Amino acid sequence: MSKLLSAECIRMMKNKLFWFAVAAMTICEIYCIQFGARVNKSADDTLETYYFYLAPMVGIFFAVFISLFLGTEHSDSTIRNKMIVGHTREQIYLSYYLTCLLGSVIMEIGWFIGGLTGIPLLGSFTSDTKMLILYFVSILLFTAALTALFVGISLMMPNKAGSAVLQIILVLILIFLSAEIYNGLCEPEEATKAFLSETGQLIMSDPEPNPRYIGGLLRTVYTWAVNISSMGQGILILHQFAGDSGSVPYLPTLQILSSLMMTALFLGVGIAVFRKKDLK
């Protein structure tokens, strides 16, 4: 197992696509934080305001890298050759997962380092150190869950282009659904309407019940859903510093437990299916 893992890590470190993904994530973070600090900056902005902009979108980078990196294993019949020399399917699967997880974490390190370029403009972190550590732990844990999902899909689909497209579409759907749930939870219970009087003055109506407000049991379900979803966790972390997170509870314990459970679930299902997969 150690030799198999070592060989995969060496292959990844020599892979140009991997380093392109690291550079792309770093550059995107630098752009986000520099653009925010120079163009959208307000008096209350801190480094954290723009530092976590990529949190909901990291899955796109992981999906592209993992699908294309593992896709070559199918085309080159590498998986079958590894079994011929004595490696079990479980060892092969776990070596792929751990290698891709290491690659995902390295990409995130590029993101974290790129964000530090905002220090000259925004200063250093101002949030509580324990909370910052909690955010980073949450990011790493939902990264483990996403990696487990993408590795499973990549090893089930021999067509790496089709696998990449499927995973990107899946990530975009999850981002869209998580954003819709979050925006729904942000709707106030009461809303006012603005209209112009005959004299041209802007008049605000009395507060009225907001038909788009989500309450009761459905609100609890939506709150849990956005905290359980990896993309939802990224959105929540991003909005902790955007000034509009008060109406949506941030549940770190639920996030950590759900990420661990999803990682175990995706790995378990992936290994079970991979055991029975016909390798041509």
- Per residue of the chain (280 residues), give pLDDT as tens: 777 888 888 888 988 989 999 999 999 999 888 887 777 666 677 788 888 888 888 999 999 899 888 877 665 577 777 777 777 888 888 999 999 999 999 999 999 999 898 888 888 888 888 888 999 999 999 999 999 999 999 888 877 778 888 999 999 999 999 999 998 888 777 766 666 655 656 666 666 777 778 888 988 999 999 999 999 999 998 888 766 556 788 888 999 999 999 999 999 999 998 888 776 6
In our burial notation (b when 16+ CB lie closer than 10 A, e otherwise), range 36-52 reads bbeeeeeeebebbbbbb
| 3-state secondary structure (DSSP) of residue 195 | strand
* SS3 state at 228: helix
How is the chain split into domains, by residue range?
A: 2-178+252-276
pTM score, two decimals? 0.87
CA 12, 64, 114 angle in degrees (round to 5)?
75
The one-letter amino acid at 211: P
